[in-house]
Chains A and B, each alone.
Chain A
Amino acid sequence: MPEPAPAFQYATLSQQHGAARLGMWTFLATEVLFFGGVLLAYVVYRYGYPSAFAEAARHTHIAIGAANTAILLTSSFLVAWGVEAAKQGFGRFAALLLWSAAASGLLFMALKGYEYRLELSESLFPDDGFAITGSVAGGARLFFVFYFIATALHALHVAIGIVVLAAIGARARGGAYSAAYYAPLTVAGLYWHFVDMVWIFLFALIYLPGRA
């Protein structure tokens, strides 16, 4: 297969790949600071209200959280495998792997939605009808504010990732990638692994306090 030409602004394909990779790493640095803002706020309040945060965290559904962690980790493995497969020219197999990863993302979203429904039915949404009362009520409400904001933002990232994985899966199936041209795969893979990493932090912060 002939090597595809670089875009007009680049001299070589490897320069273009380097730019794409650096672009995604820079974007991920932005994302770290973006999630950093909400995680910092969470940590400040958890430091201020340790018992309320522990009490609130005990109301989360750790079984669903653990299952979702396993699902996302598996999906990251599938993506890494899919990227390698596509690079080596196994386009149809790579598509299968990338689509499976996207399907794992969908499963994650479905479980997350189910978890939200459970929490709403248990009056854990942090408004005036909040279920946890007593001296820890304020802190527990703050916990659930951050729980909903952080997980919703993460879910938004997962949703974007699902679309991206489905799209590059389709292109991999059509044989678009090769050992010479694979930058979109690397970049999409980086993004998906990042989304996975954010979840690992969220899992520890949301489900584990008060359960030691």
Chain B
Amino acid sequence: MSARNYLTEDTRLRSWFFTTDHKRVAILYFAGITFFFFIGGAAATLIRLELLTPQGDLVTSDVYNRLFTLHGVIMVWFFLIPSIPNTLGNFVVPLMIGARDLAFPRLNLTSWYLFMIGGLITLYAVFVGGIDTGWTFYTPFSTMYSNGHVVVAVVGVFIAGFSSILTGLNFIVTIHRMRAPGLTWHRLPLFLWSLYATSVILVLATPVLAMTLLLLGLERFFGVGIFDPKIGGDPLLFQHLFWFYSHPAVYIMILPGMGIVSELIACFSRKAVFGYKFVAWASLSIAAFGFFVWGHHMFVSGQSVFAGLVFSFMSFVVAVPSAIKVFNWTATMHKGWIRFDAPMLYALGFLGLFTIGGLTGLFLACLAYDVYVTDTYFVVAHFHYIMVGGAVTAYFGGLHYWWPKITGRLYPEYWARAAAILIFFGFNMTFFPQFILGTLGMPRRYHVYPADLQVWNVLSSAGASVLAVAYALPLFYLGWSLFFGAKAPTNPWGATGLEWQTPSPPPVHNFAVTPKVIRDPYTYRPDGTEQPQNA
């Protein structure tokens, strides 16, 4: 290492655990979420193994309940929600806006500790016996009948919620107040627009989850019966409160992914994003409309028909800004100088998988069709296309794209492309059969099923093994590149953002001189060379 950077400035262990540098906090988050990703993945592996055969021969139904609950709780709250914002977002937000750090660096570190404490408490609940409610904790099962460790798990998720809120708050204030001179709102890279929209949801939806879980925990702990029909309580109220958070939470997972894809497609097509302002405002419209669609999780739960109609309509409306994005990304590539580097392969994978996930979302927004496939594998396939095919693919795309900036090393391109392609095929092989299983009527959350559904389940499990290998690959070649990868130049991709105008890896306070922004993002000359935002 020639110049001193944020990694070499102080190498003692305590300098990591007491750091307030957003780049180091991002690395701490990387470690945390990778750990949780493989725990959640292990549960998924056992689920797919069990479903190889129609009989319940690997685990008991009780253990199976605990497995899918573990998978859901860990993957939703301890991987997907923090994945892009808290790792890549934490790392690049200040760099992209030309700031020395986030607005509240100590709060940022606090947020990581809350996340880890929440995660470890939840894991403790798993190790002392697990939770069997599903990640949705529906009452009255969770409060009165479940014999799992609901209260402990709920405390863990509750604490992690505050980590989300603090991160959202930090991003909102940072993007409002810390932009470099000349960086107006409509010059912000689209990743920042999507993170801003995400943060608004984090700040406004997460507290409702916190309150819901608090009520749930208190009811179970004190036996006071908040949602207990015996004394007049309403279990549906729990579902309303839960989905008021948990549907917007889907947008917390996918919006940052959309932001990354905007960056990748512009950079690897050497063109400005088509309809920049539409894509930017689409993020905010998704965040806004996303607050008014939660009832589509409850079409068969007993809410009124009128409510069902309104929520169905709103669910179609929220698809419009998502579609705008997909069309604009496609138009961006039109007549571009497309390069198929690994990040771009991930972005293209996202485009295909998110489109399938989004369109099947419209199936589910139809009242009549939703009744038919409620609680079947169709729903499971749909949301995995969004959350795994969409969000996780985008996460890997962003990870590869910013890897040279984060670590100062180039990863092996050949392996990265292989993994990207393998993920795409493994994913489709795992989850497409589940659409078919769903339409054939296979319910979710059962570990025993009729023998004539086995062929699709075997196909899905086989795909899952491909996917497992593909997800493990980056761990090896990215790990290898940390020690043996070639040194990364400042701007390996020829991108235009401010984060590429400071050395890789960046110095402690990011920029020697605060950059002055003079042009829009994604400005490329006709010959495909880049024009950085500040020069």
Chain A residues proximal to chain B, CB less than 8 Å = 8-11, 15, 18-19, 22-23, 26-27, 29-31, 33-38, 40-41, 44-45, 48-49, 52, 126-127, 137-139, 141-142, 145, 149
Whole-angstrom distance from the CB of B257 to the nearest CB of chain A? 24
Inter-chain contacts of A18 with B (CB < 8 A): 177
Whole-angstrom distance from the CB of A7 to the nearest CB of chain B? 8
Q: How far is the CA of A137 from the CA of B225 in the complex (A)?
A: 13
Whole-angstrom distance from the CB of A38 to the nearest CB of chain B? 5
A-B contacts, 28 listed (Cβ < 8 Å): A8-B100, A11-B514, A15-B177, A18-B177, A19-B178, A22-B172, A22-B173, A23-B103, A23-B170, A26-B169, A26-B203, A30-B204, A30-B206, A33-B204, A35-B211, A36-B207, A41-B237, A45-B232, A45-B234, A48-B234, A52-B232, A127-B224, A138-B230, A142-B225, A142-B231, A142-B232, A145-B225, A149-B214
In contact, A9 and B99 (Cβ under 8 angstroms): yes
In contact, A38 and B177 (Cβ under 8 angstroms): no
In contact, A34 and B210 (Cβ under 8 angstroms): yes
Identify the interface centre among B101, B102, B177: most chain A CB within 10 Å of its CB: B177
- Does B448 lie at the interface of the complex (its beta carbon under 8 Å from any beta carbon of A)? no
Inter-chain contacts of B210 with A (CB < 8 A): 34, 37
Inter-chain contacts of A40 with B (CB < 8 A): 241
Inter-chain contacts of B231 with A (CB < 8 A): 137-139, 141-142
Q: Which residue from chain A places its CB closest to the CB of B236 in the assembled complex?
A: A44
In contact, A142 and B233 (Cβ under 8 angstroms): yes
Whole-angstrom distance from the CB of B24 to the nearest CB of chain A? 14
Inter-chain contacts of A41 with B (CB < 8 A): 215, 226, 237, 241
- Does B176 lie at the interface of the complex (its beta carbon under 8 Å from any beta carbon of A)? yes
Q: How far is the CA of A44 from the CA of B215 in the complex (A)?
A: 15
Identify the interface centre among B99, B173, B178, B514: most chain A CB within 10 Å of its CB: B173
Contact with A26, one of B99, B100, B172, B206 (Cβ below 8 angstroms):
B172
In contact, B177 and A19 (Cβ under 8 angstroms): yes
Whole-angstrom distance from the CB of B218 to the nearest CB of chain A? 6
- Does B160 lie at the interface of the complex (its beta carbon under 8 Å from any beta carbon of A)? no
Q: Which residue from chain A places its CB closest to the CB of B103 in the assembled complex?
A: A19
Q: Which residue from chain A places its CB closest to the CB of B165 in the assembled complex?
A: A30
Inter-chain contacts of B104 with A (CB < 8 A): 19, 23
Whole-angstrom distance from the CB of B487 to the nearest CB of chain A? 28
Q: How far is the CA of A92 from the CA of B173 in the complex (A)?
A: 33
In contact, B234 and A145 (Cβ under 8 angstroms): no
In contact, A49 and B232 (Cβ under 8 angstroms): yes
- Does B123 lie at the interface of the complex (its beta carbon under 8 Å from any beta carbon of A)? no
Q: How far is the CA of A38 from the CA of B214 in the complex (A)?
A: 10
Chain B residues proximal to chain A, CB less than 8 Å = 94, 99-105, 165, 168-170, 172-174, 176-178, 203-208, 210-212, 214-215, 218, 222-226, 230-234, 237, 241, 509, 514
Q: How far is the CA of A45 from the CA of B232 in the complex (A)?
A: 9
Identify the interface centre among B178, B205, B206, B230: most chain A CB within 10 Å of its CB: B178
Contact with A8, one of B178, B211, B509, B514 (Cβ below 8 angstroms):
B509
Given contacts A126-B224, A127-B222, A141-B225, whether A37 and B211 have CB atoms under 8 Å apart is yes
Inter-chain contacts of A27 with B (CB < 8 A): 169
Whole-angstrom distance from the CB of B92 to the nearest CB of chain A? 16
In contact, A34 and B103 (Cβ under 8 angstroms): no
In contact, A37 and B212 (Cβ under 8 angstroms): yes
Inter-chain contacts of B237 with A (CB < 8 A): 41, 44
Q: Which residue from chain B places its CB closest to the CB of A144 in the assembled complex?
A: B224
Whole-angstrom distance from the CB of A201 to the nearest CB of chain B? 15
Q: How far is the CA of A52 from the CA of B231 in the complex (A)?
A: 12
Inter-chain contacts of B233 with A (CB < 8 A): 45, 142
In contact, B232 and A139 (Cβ under 8 angstroms): yes
Given A23-B103, A37-B208, A41-B241: 5 more A-B contacts, CB < 8 Å:
A9-B99, A30-B169, A38-B211, A41-B237, A139-B232
Whole-angstrom distance from the CB of B494 to the nearest CB of chain A? 29
In contact, A127 and B223 (Cβ under 8 angstroms): yes
